Amino acid sequence: MLWNQNIWSITAETITPHWIKTVLENTTTSYQIVIYNVYSPNHYTDKAHCWHSLSENIAEEDNSNIILGGDLNLILHSNEKRGGCFSPDPYRSQLETIM
């Protein structure tokens, strides 16, 4: 993640094994944005921990300016899958509740 340090400054940061939260504040207006960079694991047990901690953290946010990005390792629709069998990911619905 890159930002212009003349315009944005980091005011808070949280680092976990599967996501990084960065709070940036505009140096002129004090406008804040919260950015979550996610790398969700493939294994369901690890994915459960990742999504649980992420959703808890987002629920505690009082800032509505949230950007969620990264590698979510989710297939939303069967036409996105190439090779193998499509099986719906149980954590897809959890993503929908976060957003």
User: How much of the chain, in percent, has pLDDT values that exceed 90?
Assistant: 47
CA distance 79 to 96: 19
Alpha carbon of 17 to those of 41, 47, 50, 57, 63: distances in Å? 10, 11, 8, 14, 23
Q: Which residues pair with 83 in a beta bridge?
A: none
- Encode pLDDT of 34-71 as tens digits: 999 999 888 878 888 888 899 899 988 887 899 999 98
Residue 98: band (very low, low, confident or very high) from pLDDT cuts 50, 70, 90: low
Domain ranges of the chain: 8-98
Report DSSP state, residue 2: -
DSSP string covering 47-93: HHHHHHHHHHHHHT-----EEEEEE-----SGGG--SS-----TTHH
